[in-house]
Amino acid sequence: MRIFKHGHACVRLETGAHHVVIDPGMFTAREAVDGATVVLITHEHPDHWTPDLLRATHAPVFTIEAVARQIREQAPDVVERVSVVQPGEVLDLGLRVELVGEKHAVIHPELPHFDNSGFFLTAEGTTVFHPGDALTVPPTVPDLLMLPVSAPWLKVSECIDYAREVGAPRSLAIHDAVYSEAGLGIVDGHLGRFLAPREQEYVRLAAGEELTA
């Protein structure tokens, strides 16, 4: 499996003829969806999906009802390619995909509590978990955790504790367009310091870079 980090929360996984793109949003360059065979969207916020990026590919889109509702309103020309999926559902998309979790992390108690479902993918003997905007612990430890590292709903101690609770041997930073490079450097230092003693590796990549073994 080849894994590419794209802008912010967008990740692309390539295995055989399958090119799965997760959460191509407003911080993501168009080339992230080039040749995509499937697009997965965790929740409705524009940093995780945009009409223009869905129009830039002919791939089928799998997402929860809250997102599908917005697509119907903002990109009705895309609706025929959208399949609504439910938390707990298991999909066969050429690789196994399980939806995990139901709610977005709390941004503020006075704001709506948005829906969010992460994706647990299995292919070529490797498991990958993308939680979207949530700190949901999957039922099985993944080989690779897509770890949110900067957000209005997240502080670094929560990020550290989440990575340790999930227990993945490797974590790849996502959701990283909110902080400056200097701020991300501070987060990188903390995550490396706290995860390394547990033999958990932490990696942050620039947009378009590929995760190497």
What are the structural domains of the chain? 2-203 (3.60.15.10)
Encode pLDDT of 6-46 as tens digits.
999 999 999 989 999 999 999 999 999 999 999 999 999 99
Find tokens 């997402």 and name the residue: 63
Which amino acid, 209? E
In the predicted model, is pLDDT for residue 213 greater than 90?
no
At 212 the pLDDT is: 84
Q: Are 29 and 53 in contact (CB under 8 A)?
A: no
pLDDT of residue 147: 98
Nearest in space to 130 (alpha carbons), one of 148, 112, 115:
148
**Could you tell me if residue 186 is left (phi over 0), alpha (psi between -120 and 50 degrees) or otherwise beta?**
alpha
Q: In the numeric block, which tokens belong to residue 161?
A: 């504790």
Q: Report the SS3 class of residue 47.
A: coil
What are the pLDDT digits (tens) for 141-157? 999 999 999 999 999 99
Take residue 194 and report the two structure tokens written for it.
């706290």
Strands 96-100 and 201-203: what pairing? unpaired
Residues 6+ apart with CB under 8 A from 171: 144, 145, 146, 147, 163, 191, 195, 200, 201, 202, 203
C-alpha separations of 178 from 48, 150, 153 in Å: 13, 6, 11
Residue 183: burial class (beta carbons within 10 Å; 0-12, 13-18, 19+)? middle
Percent of the chain with pLDDT over 70: 100
Model pTM score: 0.96
